[in-house]
Structure 1
Amino acid sequence: MAKRSDISEKIDSATGGLRLRRLRQNDWTRRLVRETKVSVDDLIWPIFVRDGDGEDQKVDSMPGVFRLSVARCVDAAKEARDLGIPVIALFPYTEQAQRDERGTEALNEGNLVCTAVRAMKAAVPEVGILCDVALDPYTSHGHDGILRGDCIDNDESVEVLCQQALVQAQAGCDIIGPSDMMDGRVACIRSALDGAGLRDTLIMSYAAKYASAFYGPFRDAVGSGGMLKGDKRTYQMDYHNGDEAIREAELDIAEGADMIMVKPGMPYLDIVSRLAREFEMPTFAYQTSGEYSMIMAAAGNGWIDGERAMMESITGFKRAGAAGVLSYFSPRVARKLREG
């Protein structure tokens, strides 16, 4: 058996005397040389608003996530302010009776989203609000646009989406987030906003939104679970493709997007990295409902350390180049960061 000194000589000879473990041996050295750091400033907190008052409604497929009344959304905005979270993303739970083929409730100036936006901005104006622009929370068929037969009509859908963006921005929304993946929608929405004197309203484009299996719990949360007719592969991206994401992002940037997003997040860190490097503009990742629920389910069964997995996943987005992350973990991450 070789002596320890012989092994040490061989290692030092092979590495030139460099021992990378020296920088890992203490907490203070690890913190000193840490390449990627997560801040509360990196977080966007998605929440779900529902009609009525009373207690928060559990989303069974998303442990720890609830549908909130408008009043409770105001409370969430205050919590975000107190935790230092810059932005809340708002999504509606729409009852079946309010849904139709064209998603007309999306254009109602008094709909849940617009009502919640007004209340939140009146109470906590310093917290930004991002609103989703897509028709799937409002349509009876569960698609993001206008259905003609078995196909989504791109141009007619864009016309409706522009009206949806306008009512949200006029209610006080700070960031419009088109998630529908219709061609040309960013240019048309930018034109509509500018034409209405809303030039300061930002657009965060879902530039690379993939047709993914990771959206199931979200559909439950907004009330569209089980009602989707067909699938969304004719307009959301094929998950086999990477170069196509570059083309999508390039178009959205040229059309006037201020920020771009990749959705889902964890299975697409390569796309996050490519877009961030290629365009050098704010690039965000959405840690989707399915990603969140997987971590929560594994943690709930004692298979993983949930807190560590949460922080590791958020750090992974930042390491890939994301400027920020939309995550249902946001308030928990913010509290964890505050604890140090």
Structure 2
Amino acid sequence: MQTEGIVLASRPAGMPSAENFRFEAVSLPELQEGQVLIRTTYISVDPYMRGRMSDRKSYIAPFTVGEVITGGAVGIVAASKSKHLQAGDTVTGDWGWQRHAVCRDKQVRKVDERYATAALGVLGMPGLTAYFGLLDICQPQKGETVVVSGAAGAVGMTVGQIAKIKGARTVGIAGSDEKLAYLRDELGFDAVVNYRSDQLKDELKAACPNGVDAYFDNVGGTLSDLVMRLINKHARISICGQIASYNLEKADVGPRVQTPLLMKSAMMKGFIVSDYAPRFKEGAAQLTQWVQEGRIKYREHMVEGFERTPEAFLGLFKGENTGKLLVKISE
């Protein structure tokens, strides 16, 4: 059987473009015992994929030129030779950017069809990233000020809501008036700041009159340089992403962070969500409870059509999405 897939055609220099991707026929193996044939319904596009497009050592191997882009997806089991899954089951896994896939049953996880897309967002990798990165590293306390950059993304908006659950004062940074209104009016952020503002330094200071006790950093760059000036004694900084530097062609150079960390007895820690794999069940259970109770809300930015997958991915770096960016492939 053959299906359609999207492969990495070439490695980008700087900002990726459509030319870095290629659509081609992908041959699928015959179904063996313990395997399932999956028809993809939704594909996840995520910022970390940009790093995998480059041929450099990192926490995860780079994509291989000429092979299908791998990443989170949801689909329906079309045929099964598994004792644990049957045709019609909704599953999620990392088979990536292809219309169909053959996977071992241990490579996928059955999900409630009511939360199919949430399995790629608030109840999946982004939600778990927010949960562990905030609670384990930032450890927000009642009355403290928590700042979140990239606050209108799938991770950021979840971070802000968990911080509110823990009784913190939450400040969200995003890039449009529409996003700021959503964070403030729908999700309950206490203050919001537009990072595109000409008065960014002053607006950040006004939004954090008592300084910053915890900073969940999705962005990096000059924005984070400004936040670092506001940290309090014993502040905690969680480094989740550095999207401001992902497409730079030269090494990023900025203010050194050692002095403010030293002077404030502060802690900065980077993390990868897979560091917490043994605790995923715990995190997923708590996130599911909060979603069902209405204490965590989420938004999905849906792009329809398999052929628009590269376009959707590139939109991440233009700030086009509010919430989790997904591509709908089929019903």
TM-score w.r.t. structure 1 length? Answer: 0.29
Structure number with higher strand proportion: 2
The higher radius of gyration belongs to: 1
TM-score w.r.t. structure 2 length? Answer: 0.30
